[in-house]
Structure 1
């Protein structure tokens, strides 16, 4: 069973654009290459004018009376349209808000992990709401919570800026962080690491091609370095729990 021919430009109904011979109107309002209106012309004259300039006749406003067509290279038109759609998606992401929850006793490693999540959101043009909740008697020492929030903001400062100073709202410290514009924002840490690794591999390749091979030299005295894993001394903080728990030194029952 035969099927009707489908145009290459009709991959999506919402993005369907009539070009040149696909235009069906008898008369069209023509916009020139310089963006100025030429006037209403018969379709045949408009197509002839497009061929003379070596461009396409693209229908940009099919619902107008008469339809509006533009003299432009169709590939350039598609590029401009895709660029506008990309900018629209950026503004759509900017309206999204992601929340990061902290605690006054958060471990430094966990703080770094949550900071990386916030950087991911900011690089995707999303806002980040930072919320730190006090539990139980922690409300007696809210200054520790403000210190944690400030440290978090310092970690993500190259990628976002707070809209206002952190403030206490009930049992929570809340602050909203907006992403910097793309030209002011630092590169994503993963991208920077990938570029650094690529540069290191290139330098190693040049050194291997220009230098002499051989095993690394042994120390002159024949002694090994004391930096072996077995020589490491036990940590003085072993058994003390999280290193970033300021409440360990406080008697909260007396507070």
Structure 2
């Protein structure tokens, strides 16, 4: 009987420990994740790796405080509630800086993502029109071209000449030149072909122009433009598909 009581008591204690550990498992996982994350960047925070007794210290406001002892630098960072980060471990003496390292890492990662967005593959958007296109449809394509260019894509404007329409080649060429003129500084010419039956001009976005803030488009105007573009049957093909042109 005593053996049964002991076993029951042990099981109760074990269950209590298990429950306690389970309730703290989330905290443990978070701590573990933070530890793993910090372990990836601990080289910059490992002040013990500095062999020199003195360091060149920069404070949180970018002020150079000059030479101080390593221990003094650690104390000053703790007092300011900042991390002490090694900037130049091989300098003599090493250069360290007081900063919020988590914030610094976040901003670095954000800049990296922004850079990756800027280097995204450029697409080639096609806009087709006839040599005798009316003003409304012409305006639809012009607005679409401006939109594509502002989004960082190339634009290929095509005028197809079928059969006897080839007699009006000069009108088609003037139409393409007018289109390019009205696009203006938003794009630069990459290539053109006015010899074949499919006349075209390819324009590349002018990076300096598209960096400038554009006037915000109202929701109503944006929806209207999208409807017009859809109705005009504007096609968009990836650049790699058009590479053989």
- Tell me if structure 2 keeps the 8 A contact 1:99–1:130: yes
How many Å separate the matches in 1 of 2:181 and 2:35? 49
User: 2:125 aligned with 1:103, yes or no?
Assistant: no
User: Cα distance, 1:74 vs. partner?
Assistant: 3.6
- Tell me if structure 2 keeps the 8 A contact 1:128–1:176: yes
CA RMSD of the aligned region, Å? 4.7
Q: Is the alpha carbon distance of 1:133 and 1:140 closer, same or farther for their aligned partners in structure 2, counting shifts above 3 Å?
A: same
Which one of the candidate residues 207, 215, 240 is aligned to 1:187?
Answer: 215
Aligned residues: 185
With normalisation by structure 1, the TM-score equals 0.49
User: 2:204 aligned with 1:177, yes or no?
Assistant: yes
How many Å separate the matches in 2 of 1:83 and 1:115? 34
Superposed CA offset, 1:78-97 (max 9, x none): 5642552254135314x513
How many Å separate the matches in 1 of 2:141 and 2:41? 45
Superposed CA offset, 1:44-101 (max 9, x none): 665324235553234679xx889986422346525642552254135314x5132222
- Tell me if structure 1 keeps the 8 A contact 2:57–2:73: no
How many Å separate the matches in 1 of 2:212 and 2:177? 21
- Tell me if structure 2 keeps the 8 A contact 1:123–1:188: no
Superposed CA offset, 1:159-210 (max 9, x none): x12235754263332222313435546425448969xxxxxxxxxxxxxxxx
Q: Secondary structure at the match of 1:187?
A: coil
Which one of the candidate residues 164, 170, 177 is aligned to 1:150?
Answer: 177
User: 2:150 aligned with 1:123, yes or no?
Assistant: yes
Superposed CA offset, 1:23-60 (max 9, x none): 45631487734487979x86x66532423555323467
Q: Which has the higher helix share?
A: 2
Which one of the candidate residues 118, 128, 140 is aligned to 1:91?
Answer: 118
User: Cα distance, 1:132 vs. partner?
Assistant: 0.9
Q: Is the alpha carbon distance of 1:114 and 1:17 closer, same or farther for their aligned partners in structure 2, counting shifts above 3 Å?
A: farther
Q: Secondary structure at the match of 1:144?
A: helix
Superposed CA offset, 1:110-134 (max 9, x none): 333333333333333x132323142
How many Å separate the matches in 1 of 2:210 and 2:63? 30
